[in-house]
Amino acid sequence: MTHTFPENFLWGASISAHQTEGAYQTDGKGLSVQDTRPRDNHEIADFTVAVDHYHHYKEDIRLLAEMGIKIFRFSIAWTRIFPAGRGEINQKGLQHYSDVIEELLKYGIQPYITLNHFDLPQALEDEGGWSVRSTVDAFKRYAETLFEAYGDRVTHWLTINEPNIMLLVDKKILGKEIPLQEKYQQFHHLMIAEKYAFKRCHELIEGGQIGPVPNISLVYPATSKPMDNQAALYFNSVRNWAYLDFSCFGRYNAVFKDYLNRNGITIEFAAEDQELMEHNFPDFVAMNFYTTVTVEKPTEKDGMANGISDQQSEDIMEWGFYKGFTNPYLKKNEFNWTIDPDGLKTTLQTLYDRYHLPIIITENGLGAKDELTDDGKIHDSYRINYLNQHIDQCLQAVEAGVDLIGYSPWSAIDLISVHEGISKRYGFIYVDRTEQNEKELTRYKKDSFYWYQTLIETNQLPS
Ligand code: BG6
């Protein structure tokens, strides 16, 4: 059997603004919750300089063009456009992304822009963040501003990065724990904000296409015990389907509603919500995938302390519903995340069967401690191996009938990991800096860069 991908398959690479740009107060940028986030570990790099993609974007895009990517997924920093989240537009910020878009188009690379990737303006957070309705209005204005400014050149958009993981792993990503009632009111506001983005993108951009971008990975039951299967049903719903059912079907699903009821959570709707939910839908689903999760039903001996400490580890507990379980059949990476390429195919098939929309993978990759050799090389065969296994499963999913249109791994270039600073690297391009020493930020091509370049050129996995 041939291992060739469909013609026009969208090979890409992804980044986010706050993890790469740095220049956190340059050209009028306001502070975001990522700039102010308290860190439990001050030994790791913050986002103030990151890899200074803000000033290096031309060099970075030139390298990515050399690698051969067809699409580039990046996010816009809301605080560059509206430093305080709303109000006057910061023209310098608007111009910056216009320049980035031009640079991409110069090389024939199509931009896929995420409206917001974890970096809510701090000024909005001070007013209550996603807990208050006014943030939805501010987001709507922000999204409209981008569609109006760039819609003549950018047709493909992603809404809000991983609202599911942002809410579930609030402490790690946002630096604070959100009480359950508030968390699911935030869920509603995030999803309504997304619905506005669908609506306005379709109204303002001719041929505009937009999709949600959650982190989706199947949840397995730890055993064939019926109650473990029930635990998996609930976590699948809370982690995955609640978000996508809202985006793609315009409703709260029944398992999720039961989860909310049993937790005594009531969600407040505004007058326009029902109409908005039921009439605005995505054109495709973008999904981020790193691993699968396994859960069992908690018992009395597990205690009742709820919480999730890391998005992909098994440290998950919600009394009465589910508890993380170490899957004995899967290996782990050096940061304790399980590796499950087969699970990617099953996740893709499940997702496609549920929504029947084209799918694009907008994150997948291996975080590792890379080493720069004296002669300027990075021999990241472990990353090549990870990508190879996952891309192989993508191909198998395509052959099994899934409408997978593209693959844009994490990450185009080394960036500051949400959890582990710069020590956990994902990029095809190495950036020479350490946690505390920014050095010259020199870029080097890793072995995976050349491997991915060949893959894109031939449109097939090396045999
Ligand atoms: C995804 C996020 O959930 O996971 C990225 O969208 C993040 O922003 C990625 O970098 C990997 O997580 P981490 O903690 O290894 O950076």
Name the nearest CA neighbour of 65 among 445, 369, 360, 460.
445
Q: How far apart are CA 324 and CA 338, in angstroms?
A: 12
Contact at 8 Å (CB) between 379 and 29?
no
Helix/strand/coil for 429: strand
Distance, CA of 129 to chain centre: 20
Please name which of 370, 393, 392 lies closest in space to residue 381, comparing C-alpha atoms: 370
What CA–CA distances, in Å, run from 276 to 183, 245, 269? Answer: 21, 14, 11
Q: Are strands 285-288 and 359-363 parallel, antiparallel or unpaired?
A: parallel
- The residue nearest atom 8 of ligand 1, judged by CA position, is 418
What was the pLDDT predicted at 435? 94
Which domain range does residue 408 map to? Answer: 10-216+233-290+338-458
Give me the phi and psi of 452, to 5 degrees please. -70, -35
Which amino acid makes up residue 277? Answer: M
- Contact between 307 and 167 under an 8 Å Cβ cutoff? The reply is no
250 domain residue, yes or no: yes
Taking the C-alpha atoms of residue 254 and residue 35, their distance in angstroms, rounded to an integer, is 38
d(CA 463, CA 460): 9
Contact criterion met (CB below 8 Å) for 32 and 122:
yes
| Residue 316, domain member (yes or no) | no
Which two three-digit tokens encode residue 370?
A: 């890379």
Yes or no: say if 276 and 196 are a contact pair by the CB < 8 Å rule.
Answer: yes
| pLDDT at res. 310 | 61
Q: Please give the structure tokens belonging to residue 243.
A: 């978000």
Cα 174 to middle of ligand 1, angstroms: 13
Q: Which two tokens stand for residue 173?
A: 């990503």
Q: Which residues, listed in sequence order, are joined to residue 256 by a DSSP beta bridge?
A: none
Which residues have CB under 6 Å of ligand 1? 16, 19, 161-162, 165, 215, 288, 311, 363, 367, 410, 417-420, 424
Cβ pair 400, 354 in contact under 8 A = no
The pLDDT of residue 278: 95
Give pLDDT, residue 38: 77
User: Is 67 inside a domain boundary?
Assistant: yes
Q: Residue 313 domain-assigned?
A: no
| H helices present in 32-113, as ranges | 33-36, 53-67, 78-81, 91-106
Per-residue model confidence (pLDDT) at position 379: 98
Q: Does residue 262 belong to any structural domain of this protein?
A: yes
pLDDT in the model for residue 415 = 98
The rounded Å distance from CA 399 to ligand 1 centre is 29
Distance CA 332, CA 340 (A): 9
Q: What pLDDT is attached to residue 305?
A: 64
- 411: cis peptide before it, omega within 30°? yes
| Cβ-contact 87, 46 below 8 angstroms | no
Query: To test the ligand 1 pocket, which listed residue (410, 415, 425) has its Cβ within 8 A of the most ligand atoms?
Result: 410
pTM for this entry: 0.96
Pocket test for ligand 1, best of 172, 418, 435 (most atoms within 8 A of CB): 418
Q: Say what the pLDDT of residue 169 is.
A: 83
Bridge-partner residues for 410, per DSSP? 14
Q: Which two tokens stand for residue 110?
A: 């199509």
| Strand ranges inside 231-353, DSSP E | 285-288, 293-296, 307-308, 316-318, 322-324, 331-332, 338-339
Atom of ligand 1 nearest to the CA of 367: 15
What atom of ligand 1 comes closest to residue 335's alpha carbon? 15
Cα 418 to ligand 1 centre (Å): 5
End-to-end CA distance of the chain, in Å?
11
Ordered per-residue pLDDT tens for the chain, 463 residues = 557 999 999 999 999 999 999 999 999 999 999 999 877 666 788 899 999 999 999 999 999 999 999 999 999 999 999 999 999 999 999 999 999 999 999 999 999 999 999 999 999 999 999 999 999 999 999 999 999 999 999 999 999 999 999 888 887 778 888 899 999 999 999 999 999 999 999 999 999 999 999 999 999 999 999 999 999 999 999 999 999 999 999 999 999 999 999 999 999 999 999 999 999 999 999 999 999 999 999 887 766 566 666 656 677 888 889 999 999 999 999 988 999 999 999 999 999 999 999 999 999 999 999 999 999 999 999 999 999 999 999 999 999 999 999 999 999 999 999 878 999 999 999 999 999 999 999 999 999 999 999 999 999 998 7
Q: How far apart are CA 117 and CA 382, in angstroms?
A: 27
Distance 423 CA to ligand 1 centre (A): 13
* Atom of ligand 1 lying closest to residue 16 CA: 8
How far apart are alpha carbons 339 and 341 in whole angstroms? 6
In a domain, 314, yes or no: no
Q: What is the pLDDT of residue 308?
A: 65
**In a domain? residue 131:** yes
Domain count, the chain: 1
Task: Give CA–CA dist 12/232, Å, rounded.
Answer: 32
Position 16 scores a pLDDT of 98
Determine the distance separating the centroid of ligand 1 and the alpha carbon of 326, expressed in angstroms: 21
Residue with tokens 């990737």: 117
Contact 290, 217 (CB under 8 A): yes
pLDDT at site 171: 78
Q: Give the CATH number, domain containing residue 403.
A: 3.20.20.80
In a domain, 406, yes or no: yes
Which residues have C-beta within 8 Å of that of residue 169, sequence separation ≥ 6?
308, 309, 310, 311
Residue among 22, 79, 37 nearest 418 (CA): 37
Please list the residues that pair with 121 across neighbouring strands. Answer: 32
Active site residues: 363
Contacts of 313-320 with CB under 8 Å at 24 or more apart are 313/337, 314/338, 316/235, 318/235, 318/238, 320/262
Asked if residue 251 lies in contact with residue 245, where contact means CB atoms within 8 angstroms, the answer is yes
CA nearest to 351, candidates 243, 276, 429, 200: 243
Question: How far apart are alpha carbons 34 and 314 in whole angstroms?
Answer: 25
Nearest to 85 by CA among 130, 38, 39, 23: 130
> Atom 15, ligand 1: which residue's CA is nearest?
417
What angle in degrees, to the nearest 10, is found between the helix axes of 180-204 and 133-150? Answer: 30
Ligand 1 closest atom vs CA 411: 10
